[in-house]
């Protein structure tokens, strides 16, 4: 039985005439429950908060007023006990890592500035004390952080070093005479920069600095440092306001610098590295490199929450654009009297429906990501391997979702025409606010480079203990496969089998196993090719090795991106198993196919160059998307966005809440009345013909 037959259920199976076909229907409520995921109750509570007028963003506020409003909103979150879930029970927290992130990322619906400023306070500043500190720090510092008595900054990034944290310039030198650390910013590029809460509200900061004791630099460590009192900056501390930004202007981002600032020895957050009174350094992790990455790995929740927030905003943008597109009418394409709904145009479907498929893939992938995060931070599965997997997952998914959110917001804005450009319809402000998501908590390209390095490491481990015979066998098989692909024999075989039939061509790539094979093969082949080019790097002088790596950097990032897309596709495919309703599963399978085949179409050049598909099949994929998947999914576009469960208060865009429908209904009624009463003027062509 063909895949197509599986997806169109003959009505005869339901006892109706065999000539009829029962169209699938989406169970919106059940699908919404699946999309809400494991922490559905927490998400709904957070959405109820986000819908409250006092938390909603007010367009047009000045930077100063916006900052003040967001700070007030943080106090409301404290009053609602909405920020304590992740913290230890010993200080009044809930020790619910996954639920904390699930609730936090939904705040983006109210105002991204609120989400990010609360993330700075409790997800970065507070989390650093919690994860990098010990019981002393928890009892001493966390209560004030949790109840907002001590607003704080997360002082890691420097003007001269963003993603390269290991090379930051700020130092913390231990003075055994006073039993204090002395913090210094030795040059302008070492100023801590872009820090939320630093410009106005922050009273303390977790400052990352090179720990120096007994003449030895033990690398980057974190220190709890008071920075302000009621009179302003404390002695030795200075700073500046970053000022107006491209977005997120409800957050008081600023710069900090330190000159001879002394903090007690006990203010070192010493879970992974400690200094005794006499200056002796000790650590439970002997390797300085592993220690550094372990410390940074504890702060991965920032990337988890950005990934989740990007998914939430993508859902909102598509809800607005698809709702508007189903009401807005333009051009009398199929009728002499009534204009066409713009979502019925193929181009409009091409603009929005593949992005809807991507959003569903992102949503299912985020569920996997968040569950993995909770497993690690709850201690259920917290080995070195689990943490490495989590970090790799974060570095793979956060870039894809944040880039996709920006693309979706822009396309949703354009697809909504001039109405999309009005501030009241939210899309422009959301696009501005999410712009920085692509670079903070790790520049997207740098993160993908980390993923690529992990892929290469896993690839090399696969053959680390293989004997010469096994390697020779692999090389021979790989060479034979390469020869088969590159000589065109694969394409020729495909063409013979397809024999000019578009339906037959699509049949070979439409099913789940074929999509998986093509997507997986691309990742594996890209990694193998890069590994082959870099195989001698370890034998080269440092400069030559760096040049060789740099010459393959773009290929590395593309391989990592392909890996992330495969993870999203696999998560979507696995998510289909959670859909019990047959009609909903049919529609979501079409949507999954649109995502998977869209990836193959987007990378058709690679598949053609490497002989994985024929030109016939490449053309057939595009034809199948345009002629079959888009029309099918068009009928289900509104139920698919309705399953996102956004109330009118959360949507907040008039064009998605019936304003456009009212205008269109009024216009149609006006012209209908003219026609029926005979008062409608004749069109010029008709008048000329009559004469």
| d(C-alpha 332, C-alpha 341), whole Å | 9
* CB distance 430 to 317 below 8 Å: yes
The Cα–Cα gap between 263 and 178 comes to 10
Of 147, 149, 148, 127, nearest in space to 138 by CA: 127
In the residue annotation, 441 being an active-site residue is answered as yes
Mode of pairing for the β-strands spanning 254-258 and 237-241: antiparallel
Is 287:240 a contact under the CB 8 Å cutoff? no
Q: How many Å apart are CA 267 and CA 178, to the nearest integer?
A: 14
CA dist., res. 560 & res. 572, Å (int): 19
Measuring CA to CA, how many Å separate 487 from each of 20, 80, 314?
A: 47, 66, 43
CB under 8 Å to 406, separation ≥6 — which residues? 431, 434, 435, 437, 438
Q: What Å distances lie between residue 562 and 438, 452, 526, 596, CA to CA?
A: 18, 10, 9, 12
What is the spatial distance between Cα 567 and Cα 577, in angstroms, rounded to a whole number? 16
Q: Which residues pair with 141 in a beta bridge?
A: none
The active-site residue, picked from 106, 391, 411, 441, is 441
Rounded to whole angstroms, how far apart are CA atoms 158 and 191? 5
**CA 526, CA 574: separation in Å to the nearest integer?**
24
CA distance linking residue 76 with residue 159, whole number of Å: 33
Spell out the alpha helix ranges (H) of 166-274.
none
Beta bridge partners of 206: 154, 224
Residue found under tokens 């992330």: 564
Q: E-strand spans in 156-215?
A: 171-175, 180-184, 192-195, 204-213
Which residues contact residue 158 at a Cβ distance below 8 angstroms, ignoring those fewer than 6 apart? Answer: 168, 169, 170, 189, 190, 191, 192, 193
Task: Tally DSSP H helices, then E strands, for the chain.
Answer: 29, 13
Those residues whose C-beta lies under 8 Å from the C-beta of residue 596, and which sit 6 or more positions away, are 515, 519, 569, 572
Q: Is the dihedral of CA 168, 553, 536, 543 positive or negative?
A: negative
Q: Would you please indicate which residues are annotated as catalytic (active-site) residues?
A: 441
């Amino acid at each position: 039985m063909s895949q197509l037959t599986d997806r169109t259920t003959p009505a005869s199976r339901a006892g109706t005439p065999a000539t009829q076909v029962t169209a699938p229907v989406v169970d919106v409520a059940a699908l919404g429950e699946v999309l809400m995921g494991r922490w559905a109750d927490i998400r709904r509570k957070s959405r109820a908060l986000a819908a409250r007028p006092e938390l909603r963003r007010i367009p047009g506020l000045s930077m100063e007023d916006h900052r003040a409003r967001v700070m007030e909103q943080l106090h409301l979150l404290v009053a609602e006990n909405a920020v304590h879930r992740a913290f230890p029970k010993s200080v009044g927290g809930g020790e619910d890592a996954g639920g904390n992130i699930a609730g936090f990322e939904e705040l983006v619906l109210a105002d991204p500035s609120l989400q990010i400023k609360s993330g700075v306070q409790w997800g970065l500043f507070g989390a650093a004390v919690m994860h990098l500190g010990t019981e002393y720090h928890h009892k001493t510092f966390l209560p004030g952080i949790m109840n907002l008595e001590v607003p704080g900054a997360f002082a890691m990034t420097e003007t001269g070093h963003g993603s390269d944290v290991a090379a930051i310039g700020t130092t913390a030198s231990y003075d055994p005479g006073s039993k204090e650390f002395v913090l210094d910013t030795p040059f302008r590029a070492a100023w801590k920069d872009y820090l939320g809460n630093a410009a106005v509200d922050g009273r303390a900061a977790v400052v990352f600095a090179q720990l120096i004791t007994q003449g030895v630099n033990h690398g980057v460590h974190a220190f709890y440092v008071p920075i302000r009192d009621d009179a302003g900056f404390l002695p030795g501390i200075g700073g500046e306001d970053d000022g107006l930004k491209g977005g997120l202007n409800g957050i008081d981002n600023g710069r900090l610098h330190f000159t001879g600032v002394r903090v007690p020895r006990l203010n070192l957050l010493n879970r992974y590295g400690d200094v005794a009174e006499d200056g002796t350094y000790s650590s439970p992790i002997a390797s300085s490199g592993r220690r550094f990455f372990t410390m940074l790995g504890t702060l991965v929740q920032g990337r988890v929450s950005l990934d989740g927030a990007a998914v939430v905003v993508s859902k909102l943008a598509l809800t607005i654009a698809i709702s508007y597109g189903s009401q807005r009418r333009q051009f009398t394409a199929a009728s002499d009297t009534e204009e066409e709904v713009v979502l019925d145009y193929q181009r409009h479907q091409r603009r929005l429906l593949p992005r809807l498929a991507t959003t569903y893939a992102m949503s299912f992938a985020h569920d996997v990501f968040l569950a993995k995060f909770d497993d690690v931070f709850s201690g259920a599965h917290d080995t070195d391997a689990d943490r490495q997997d989590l970090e790799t997952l974060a570095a793979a998914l956060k870039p894809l979702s944040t880039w996709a959110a920006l693309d979706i917001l822009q396309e949703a804005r354009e697809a909504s025409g001039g109405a999309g450009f009005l501030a009241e319809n939210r899309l422009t402000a959301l696009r501005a606010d999410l712009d920085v998501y692509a670079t903070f908590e790790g520049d997207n390209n740098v993160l993908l480079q980390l993923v690529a390095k992990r892929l290469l490491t896993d690839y090399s481990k696969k053959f680390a203990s293989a004997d010469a015979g096994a390697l020779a066998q692999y090389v021979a098989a790989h060479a034979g496969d390469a020869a088969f692909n590159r000589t065109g024999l694969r394409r020729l075989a495909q063409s013979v089998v397809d024999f000019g039939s578009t339906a037959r061509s699509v049949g070979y790539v439409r099913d789940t196993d074929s999509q998986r094979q093509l997507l997986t093969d691309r990742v594996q082949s890209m990694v193998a090719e890069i590994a082959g080019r870099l195989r001698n790097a370890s034998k080269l002088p440092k400069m030559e090795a760096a040049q060789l790596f740099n010459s393959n950097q773009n290929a590395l990032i593309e391989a990592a991106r392909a890996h992330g897309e495969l993870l999203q596709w696999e998560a979507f495919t696995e998510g289909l198993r959670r859909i019990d309703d047959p009609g909903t599963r049919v529609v979501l399978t079409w949507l999954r196919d649109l995502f998977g085949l869209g990836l193959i179409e987007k990378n058709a050049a690679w598949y053609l160059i490497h002989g994985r598909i024929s030109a016939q099949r490449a053309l057939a994929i595009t034809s199948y998307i345009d002629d079959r998947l888009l029309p099918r999914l068009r009928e289900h576009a509104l139920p698919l966005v309705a399953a996102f469960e956004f109330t009118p208060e959360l949507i907040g865009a008039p064009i998605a809440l019936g304003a456009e429908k009212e205008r269109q209904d009024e216009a149609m009624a006006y012209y209908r009345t003219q026609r029926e009463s005979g008062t409608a003027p004749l069109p010029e062509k008709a008048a000329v013909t009559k004469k």
